[in-house]
Amino acid sequence: MKIRNYWNLRDFGANLWENAGRPVRVAIVLGSILLVGLLPFMGGSILATPIAAFDAVLVYPVGMFVLMSLGLNIVVGKSGMLDLGYVAFFAIGAYTMAYLGTTTNLNTWEIMPIGIALAMIAGVLLGIPTLRLRGDYLAIVTLGFGEIVRLILLNSTWSKGPNGIANIPMPPDLGPLKFELKNQRVFFWVVMAMILLTIWMIRRLTVRRPGRAWEAIRQDEDAAELMGIHTLKYKIWSFTLGAAVGGAAGVLFASKNLYIAPEMFTLNVSILILACVVFGGIGNIWGVVIGAAILGYLPDRIRFISDARLLAFGLVLVVVMNFRPDGLLPRKKREKAIVKREANA
Amino acid sequence: MKKRIQISLAIATALAITLTGCSSSDDAAENTFTIAYQGPLSGGEASTGTDEQNAVKYAIELFMEANPEYTIELVSVDDQGDPAVASTVAPGTAANEKILGIVGPAYSGATIASLPFYKDGGLVMISPSATRVSITDPATPDFGGPVFHRVVGKDDKQGPALAKYATDGVANAKVFVVDDQSSYAVPLREYVEAGLKSVAGASLVGGDSVINTATDYAPTIAKIKTSGANVVIYTGYYSAAAIFVKQLRDSGSKAVFAGGDGVFNQEFPKLAGAAAEDSRITGVGGLAGISADLEADFQEKMGVSSGVYSVESFDAANILLEGIKAGNTTRETMLAWVKAYEGTSVSGNTIKFDENGDISYGLFAGFTTKDGVLVNTGIIK
Amino acid sequence: MFEVLIDQFWSLTLAGISLGFIYVLVSLGYTMVYGVLRMINFANSEIFMWGTFGTIITSRDIFGYTQTSAPATGGKLALVLISQLIMSMAVAGLTAIFVEYVAYRRLRAKGTNRLATLISAIGISIVLSELMRLLTDSRPVGSPRVLEKIILTEVWGANIRLDTIVTIFAAALIYFLLERFVQLSRMGKAIRAVSMNEDAAKLMGVNLNRVITTTFLVGGLATGAAAFFYITVFEYSKFNIGFTMGMAAFTAAVLGGIGNIRGAFYGGLFLGLLEVYASAVLGTQWKAVTVFIVLVLVLLFKPNGLFGEAVQTTRA
């Protein structure tokens, strides 16, 4: 007897995709991009956020969370390393933008590669000594790293300490698209483009050598090493790519927020991003996107319960994790089975 | 299958709860007006915001009691004290046409992040606690004019006042300054240290920076002992100050303990007990510092004691409420009203804003702890 | 740079040791659970925070002490302190069992991935801390002074205070009792058996659920005891104090070798001293940075922590 599983949205989506021909696929992709792109105009609908502006919520937290979660997913989801200090790369990107944007004439797009490069360098510098560690040891070291970056920003004079850096320039206009604070839809489209680019990059890599190496490392690091995979190299690669995405998100964030301070880059952000990844479905790009979108959006949607907002957020995490431990849209079963066995080992 | 039904039910309930939140009553009565409070109302910084919002609520309640023909609604804008959150809530608040004015934001960082939106929306802000000097300095990028006002004295007034008050009557004062690494305490510490230079006979012998979530001050106390300081100035908030002063006294130190308006709170002697005796605090005052009756009434109406910046929040709310009573029911006239405002603070000072949004008095009173209560010793000259 | 360290060496050392013993007990909460489940008990910091409130409620609401009342003496002192300790351990122990039941049990039964459990634990710790925030109106809560902090004597320029001595000796005693419990009792043996090999232990007739609940309970009791000492020394609590303590205790557990009870002991003391010395030499703002660098160095040369070898052999 075949019971249709209405809850398995991932398989439903995958079926739809696999049974479709090329034109249909193109149509699906373009259609979804268009639909998502129209989101900023939905501010008056049932989606409206009570106090925050809907278009602003779409950029931060929603868009930024999706972008960062995708970056963290390369580290946690693809190659199975628990990183609790992801906010560090975000902060490095943001401070690169803030510092160069206020002291030089470079604009956001010119600073972007510098921010990404610095985040990647930080990733390598942290990765080389620490990626030999495994599991929870790695977790505590990355957690410490995130705090250290914040403390250094807090105690340095070039970063203006706790006062933070104000008056960061906005990105220059992209042709007819003008960046404005009042209506942040252009920011949203830029974040969307960055998200699409990241998704494209991850999908490319997943089917190529690095993706296979990560998969092998995630499933069994020792076996991967024995099979001749240079595990440390690929781990650093995945760490660095994750860092690059975080750095890019940071640059854009600083340029959108116009003001940044160390208090924005606390451990809470790292944990929240990790929660987005796991909540949506670790390792599955679409799950991560949906998880991050929900967790970014939810706290602003439920502002009417103001005081108990975080309490409700915590409850949602517990309940969803208990009923859907592999996330809202889990990764494929084949991969899941191995994770389960690992947990029992 | 049963499990699935349970899950669907749970999710449906959650959705229902979520979605009903947007049902708002648009049947605005004739004399219904809205003001907002912005500050941290959840997360780790929530105590400041909750205290301030209580004072705003108290002001509204008193106003509605005295003027029953008005209904005042308060929008709680929770920015968690985080500039990143502030820049998502500020555009929404600016776009909410019903809001005539804002009490807040509570923190300087959140203020700077919110400013572009409120300037754009012409929405007047009266902050009870954003003390950073640059916000009212037209020469800096942080400048908040014309919408930004504050009813709290800024750091460059308070720093020297605190330096003077802390070393008052101490011969050969050797001062040790401690901040809590927050964006409130670090700038204040700089102004205190600058102010010390103009105090005759006083010298700065050392300093330390202790994160505000810390509870162990042993290393700092060791440094104080080594430096031989006889005056310790703490520029952070009252709760950490209480822990600090207790440990300082328990270690046997007799140095004068002083703090700024972040410490100025009747909770401080309550938390610190006997250790807080003779501490020297600068501030404008909590409600209890002004009158015990007011504090008792506050406790009766709000169910809790008044907390940090309650006088400032109360004053700020009253300026807006008086504006509403005077018929300023658009943002434009409200802004003009606040700019031209001249009135009396519950603390007795005359409130009048200069062209950059600072209050005219900016004078700080010195308080000292006597028998577990902060007692006003007069304006510091 | 070093004058503070030289001048105040013994008072710093004493402060470091008493802080270290609090870390030891809290890190037991991490290390016990980790040893059995191989999972970070992320909510342990909030278990600690609830324990501190258990302590405060006992002296303030049950015995009616206020901020201004005189500290207790004689038999009354012992009675109040012991009831505070018991209450703190009970509150923390119950909270730990609650955390296990709500956040871990269902997921463990399903044998799902560890990250889901971690997020579930993060969720429950948000719930615990926000709940306390709502209960306390986001205010800090002071604890009345029960134990007079008399300076007993002065040795090498350091004041020997009563509360420091009580903390050091009582905490060491509690640590010793818990360690003996895990080493010698039947339940303790079952805990160690599960920690070495879960499946084999199950085959030997060990009731897994009971063992895991007991592990959480023991971890919670240790954390609760730490909460009591913390309140006795610092006399202050707030809904967000768990985080800092949790970070430090977890670091201590990793430094010593997580999953290893002795490791928690050495790790906690080491961290307590390191923090105090680093603050004295470099300035308190660089304390966390120093701790992190030391942690990375330790893990580089001893990837299982300072005392992690024992875990490896016992786990096999």
Tell me which residue of A325, B225, A242 sits closest to C3, measured CA to CA.
B225
Nearest beta carbon to residue B91 from set A56, A259, A301: A56
Torsion angles phi and psi, residue B328, rounded to 5: -90, 90
Q: Is B37 helix (H, G, I), strand (E, B) or coil?
A: strand
d(Cα B227, Cα B176) in Å, to the nearest integer?
Answer: 8
> Is B255 in contact with B205 (CB distance < 8 Å)?
no
Pairs of CB atoms within 8 A across A/B: 129
User: Crossing angle, helix A231-257 and helix A87-103, to 10 degrees?
Assistant: 50
What residues of C are in the A interface, CB distance below 8 Å?
34, 40, 102-103, 106-107, 110-120, 122-127, 130-131, 134, 198-199, 247, 250-251, 254, 258, 285-286, 288-289, 291-292, 295-296, 299-300, 303-304
Q: How many other CB atoms are found less than 10 A from the CB of residue A104?
A: 10
Among A30-34, B98-102, C220-224, where is mean pLDDT lowest?
Answer: A30-34
> Is A162 in contact with A32 (CB distance < 8 Å)?
no
d(Cα C258, Cα C44) in Å, to the nearest integer?
Answer: 14
On the question of pLDDT at B2 being above 60, the answer is: no
On the question of pLDDT at B7 being above 70, the answer is: no
On the question of pLDDT at B22 being above 50, the answer is: no
Residue A215 lies in a domain: yes
Fold of C3-315: ABC transporter involved in vitamin B12 uptake, BtuC (1.10.3470)
Structure tokens at C14: 């004493």
Tell me which residue of C257, C274, A190, A297 sits closest to C265, measured CA to CA.
C257
- Give the A window 84-143 contacts with C, CB below 8 Å: 129-130, 132-134, 136-137, 139-141, 143
Number of domains present in the structure of chain A: 1
Residue A287 lies in a domain: no
Residue A223 lies in a domain: yes
Contacts for A40 with CB less than 8 Å, ≥ 6 apart: A54, A55, A58, A183, A184, A185, A188
Range of the domain at A224: 59-267
Structure tokens at A287: 């799950």
Paired residues of C142 in beta bridges: C236
Burial (0-12, 13-18, 19+ Cβ within 10 Å), C170: middle
On the question of pLDDT at B169 being above 90, the answer is: no
Set of chain B residues whose Cβ sits within 8 Å of the Cβ of A95 = none
d(Cα A120, Cα A93) in Å, to the nearest integer?
Answer: 10
For position A4, what pLDDT does the model report? 55
d(Cα B112, Cα C36) in Å, to the nearest integer?
Answer: 49
Interchain contact B262–A (C-beta under 8 A): no
> Is B330 in contact with B303 (CB distance < 8 Å)?
no
d(Cα A190, Cα A171) in Å, to the nearest integer?
Answer: 10
Set of chain C residues whose Cβ sits within 8 Å of the Cβ of A88 = none
On the question of pLDDT at B369 being above 90, the answer is: no
Furthest-apart CA pair in chain C: how many Å? 60
- Note the pLDDT tens digit of each residue in A8-49: 667 777 777 777 778 888 888 888 888 888 888 777 667 777
Burial (0-12, 13-18, 19+ Cβ within 10 Å), B15: exposed
Mean pLDDT of chain B: 84
Whether A306 sits inside 8 A of B42 (CB atoms) is yes
Set of chain A residues whose Cβ sits within 8 Å of the Cβ of B134 = 163, 166
Among A97-101, C4-8, C13-17, where is mean pLDDT lowest?
Answer: C4-8
From edge to edge, which strands make up the β-sheet containing B373-379? B203-209, B174-179, B231-234, B256-259, B280-283, B365-370, B373-379
pLDDT band per the 50, 70, 90 thresholds, residue C113: confident
Set of chain B residues whose Cβ sits within 8 Å of the Cβ of A154 = 181
Paired residues of B294 in beta bridges: none
d(Cα A106, Cα A100) in Å, to the nearest integer?
Answer: 7
Q: What is the ipTM of this complex?
A: 0.86
pLDDT band per the 50, 70, 90 thresholds, residue B14: low
Q: How many other CB atoms are found less than 10 A from the CB of residue B10?
A: 13
Give the chains touching A; criterion: ≥3 Cβ pairs < 8 Å.
B, C
d(Cα B232, Cα A100) in Å, to the nearest integer?
Answer: 39
**Residue whose pair of structure tokens reads 């859907």 in the numeric block:** A324
Structure tokens at A150: 């914040």
Torsion angles phi and psi, residue B176, rounded to 5: -120, 125
For position B127, what pLDDT does the model report? 93
Nearest beta carbon to residue B216 from set C19, C149, C151: C19
The percentage of chain C sitting over the pLDDT mark of 70, rounded to a whole number, equals 96
Nearest beta carbon to residue A343 from set C40, C112, C134: C112
For position C56, what pLDDT does the model report? 92
Calculate how close chain C gets to A164, using CA atoms only, in Å. Answer: 17
**Boundaries of every domain in chain C:** 3-315
Query: Alpha helix (H) ranges present in chain A?
Result: 9-18, 22-37, 54-57, 64-73, 87-103, 108-130, 135-155, 185-207, 209-219, 221-226, 231-257, 267-280, 285-301, 309-323, 333-344
Set of chain C residues whose Cβ sits within 8 Å of the Cβ of B211 = 244, 284-285, 288
> Is B211 in contact with B235 (CB distance < 8 Å)?
no
> Is C179 in contact with C25 (CB distance < 8 Å)?
no
On the question of pLDDT at A335 being above 70, the answer is: no
d(Cα B226, Cα B206) in Å, to the nearest integer?
Answer: 10
For position B189, what pLDDT does the model report? 92
The percentage of chain A sitting over the pLDDT mark of 90, rounded to a whole number, equals 27
Whether A144 sits inside 8 A of C291 (CB atoms) is yes
d(Cα A154, Cα A250) in Å, to the nearest integer?
Answer: 17
Pairs of CB atoms within 8 A across B/C: 117
d(Cα A33, Cα A104) in Å, to the nearest integer?
Answer: 35
Among A41-50, A53-62, C21-30, where is mean pLDDT lowest?
Answer: A41-50
Q: Which residue in chain C is spatially nearest to B306 when comparing CA positions? A: C139
Interchain contact C276–B (C-beta under 8 A): yes
For position A333, what pLDDT does the model report? 55
Q: Taking residues B228-242, report their average pLDDT.
A: 90
Whether A306 sits inside 8 A of B78 (CB atoms) is yes
Residue A11 lies in a domain: no
Residue A33 lies in a domain: no
The radius of gyration computed from the CA coordinates of chain C, to the nearest angstrom, equals 20
For position A344, what pLDDT does the model report? 46
Q: Which of A86-100, A301-315, C198-212 has the highest mean pLDDT?
A: A86-100
Residue A93 lies in a domain: yes
Nearest beta carbon to residue C137 from set B225, B247, B304: B304
On the question of pLDDT at C182 being above 80, the answer is: yes
Domains of chain B and any CATH numbers: 32-153+291-348 (3.40.50.2300), 156-283+364-379 (3.40.50.2300)
Tell me which residue of B82, B240, B261, C41 sits closest to A268, measured CA to CA.
B82
Tell me which residue of A76, A124, A66 sits closest to A249, measured CA to CA.
A66
Interchain contact A221–B (C-beta under 8 A): no
> Is A219 in contact with A338 (CB distance < 8 Å)?
yes
Angle value at C-alpha B284, between B281 and B289, nearest 5 degrees = 80
Whether A340 sits inside 8 A of C113 (CB atoms) is yes
Letter string b/e over residues C292-305, b meaning 16 or more CB atoms within 10 A of that residue's CB? bebbbebbeeeebb
Calculate how close chain B gets to A51, using CA atoms only, in Å. Answer: 5
